[in-house]
A and B are shown apart, each in its own frame.
Chain A
Amino acid sequence: SQTIHQWPATLVQPVGSPLSLECTVEGTSNPNLYWYRQAAGRGLQLLFYSVGIGQISSEVPQNLSASRPQDRQFILSSKKLLLSDSGFYLCAWSAGTPSEQYFGPGTRLTVT
């Protein structure tokens, strides 16, 4: 069966510090991968998605970036965090464009 992992589960970082969140998927090959952010009490906002290694599409201009160094690994990064980057970050995968997405447990990021 397929599983999706995210770490860390929680993170507190000062403004201006770098960020690296990791997401890995097991039990499937060539998944579509997604990064979402959920601000407190809000819906999900798609940040990045990837249909293959090295292929990244950005949905929202910001100081975040994403990379996919391996087929089942998706990384969300920032060189300098802003207060507005605080939120709940969710990674998801799908087997293809028309299919449902399955989410990881999420990372709660607080920028102080």
Chain B
Amino acid sequence: AQKITQTQPGMFVQEKEAVTLDCTYDTSDQSYGLFWYKQPSSGEMIFLIYQGSYDEQNATEGRYSLNFQKARKSANLVISASQLGDSAMYFCAMREVIQGNLIFGKGTKLSVKP
């Protein structure tokens, strides 16, 4: 069964607007971590933000915030005030504590329009 689901293969957003990238996950663990990575056309994977399953508050890092809804098993990434440089692939990933490795979704390609 797919553990990380990103249902949006591609998204478009106007520059300076906010955008939400969806991510749902499946796990039976009580303790796990959720991550978002950005992959520009150069290929490098850039860590953006992390949310622990026991964190009560949604994680924020600058223009990035993670909308964590534990009961729905969703961990959506919100990018505020989009910039042209935000155009990239975005991957959601989960780490189950027992397994200890990252499991990635298939990614969402975000295109920011000027």
Chain A residues in contact with chain B, CB under 8 A? 34, 42-46, 49, 59, 88, 90, 92, 97-98, 100-106, 108
Having A98-B52, A100-B47, one finds 8 other A-B pairs with CB under 8 Å, namely: A34-B102, A43-B105, A49-B100, A98-B97, A101-B102, A105-B43, A106-B43, A106-B44
CB distance from B8 to the nearest CB of A (A): 14
Bound state CA distance, A66 and B20, in angstroms?
Answer: 38
Cβ contact within 8 Å between B107 and A43: yes
For chains A and B in complex, what number of residue pairs have CB atoms within 8 angstroms?
52
Q: How far is the CA of A33 from the CA of B81 in the complex (A)?
A: 35
B105: chain A residues at CB < 8 Å are 43
Q: Are A100 and B100 in contact (CB under 8 A)?
A: no
The count of residues in chain B whose C-beta lies closer than 8 Å to any C-beta of chain A is 23
Question: A43-B105, A44-B104 known; A101 and B43 CB under 8 Å?
Answer: no
14 A-B pairs whose Cβ atoms sit less than 8 Å apart in the complex: A34-B102, A44-B102, A45-B104, A46-B103, A49-B100, A98-B97, A100-B35, A101-B47, A101-B102, A102-B47, A103-B37, A105-B42, A105-B43, A106-B43
Shortest Cβ distance from residue B86 to the other chain A in the assembled complex, whole angstroms: 18
